Amino acid sequence: MSAPLIWGWSFALVVLGGALQTLAGDRVVDVMRNYTATGEPVMVRAVPEWEHQAMWVPGTDGFSQQRLDDLSAMETPGQILALQSDGAMILGEREVDVLLTGNRDRPVSIIDMKAVAECNDFQPGTLVWLQSPPAGIAPTARIVMDLDQPSPEALVYDPDDTGGTARKYFDEQIIVLGKDEQQSVGLTLRSNGVCSVNIRMTVMDGQERHTQWLFNEGEEVMVAGHGYNEGEGTIQHAYLGGEVCDTYETAPPDRNNILGQIMGGGGCPSERNE
């Protein structure tokens, strides 16, 4: 009689073990579903492009000859890092490549993007020109945000419209993402001042409205705009280095003179005079 009893208990344990395993598996699935449902509706990867055509060092002091010699001895990437240690900022529009990925079992919708920026007036400083601008840029549709506006919205320009007429991007469309579906977005940030900026997205997950940010706190993008074109005396000193001049040269702080030629792709002045 003992053998059937042992067999019966063994069968019961197997059944109980299977039930516990199924229950544990169900709990794991429930936890994973709960994680997916409570995480951000959209996964965001935002990468500012680092095109160092020109850099701006705030302040009225120029560079010593020793500093110019030290910079000239470096390759362009080393010059960029050295200038950043002096507080230099990238000058001009900032481009940001954004990859958006749906993170829900059902579709989610991005219905708005707005820039939240803290800006200051462009202060006098030193201009360092590192690269000649490209001869031309192929027209592409990118979202543009003008940080000088009271509430910077997502705008889009028709590349075929020479008048530069802007339309509000989200007045015409929204971005809908299914589970793991991806959408790449190109952002262009503009200002005539110096701004620290983050981008706020409004996302609809069913009937729930969510606010998401492109950048983590403390990782906002710096935009130092075209303020050197505004008014007189903004450029205190100007130097040509990087890929423009192998050895740093001093340029007149006058954008209508040598700097104007450099911006037009004229190359290093000393090399043109040889």
**pLDDT digits 0-9 by tens, 77-119:** 899 899 989 888 888 888 899 999 999 999 999 999 999 999 9
**pLDDT digits 0-9 by tens, 238-274:** 888 888 888 998 886 555 555 555 555 566 767 665 5
Q: Whole-number mean pLDDT of the chain? A: 78
Contact in structure between 59 and 126 (CB atoms under 8 Å): yes
pLDDT of residue 43: 96
Q: Please, what sign has the CA dihedral across residues 79, 85, 88, 90?
A: positive
Query: Is a pLDDT exceeding 50 seen at residue 135?
Result: no
- Give CA–CA dist 84/26, Å, rounded: 53
DSSP the chain: -HHHHHHHHHHHHHHHHHHHHHHHHHHHHHHHHHHHHHS-SEEEEEEE----SEEEEESS----HHHHHHHHTS-HHHHHHHHHHTT-EEBS-EEEEEEEEE-SSS-EEEEEEEEEEEEEPPPPEEEEE-SPPPS-------EEEETTSSS-B-EEE-TT-TT--EEEHHHH--EEE-TT-EEEEEEEEE-SSEEEEEEEEEEEETTEEEEEESS-TT-PEEEE-SGGGSSSS-EEEEEE-TTT-SS-EEE-S-TTTHHHHHHTT---HHHHT-
**pLDDT digits 0-9 by tens, 221-236:** 988 876 555 444 577 8
Instruction: Name beta bridge partners: 144.
Output: 155, 188
Domain map (residue ranges) of the chain: 1-38, 42-272
Contact in structure between 148 and 121 (CB atoms under 8 Å): no
pLDDT of residue 245: 87
Nearest 5°: the CA angle 96, 234, 115 is 25
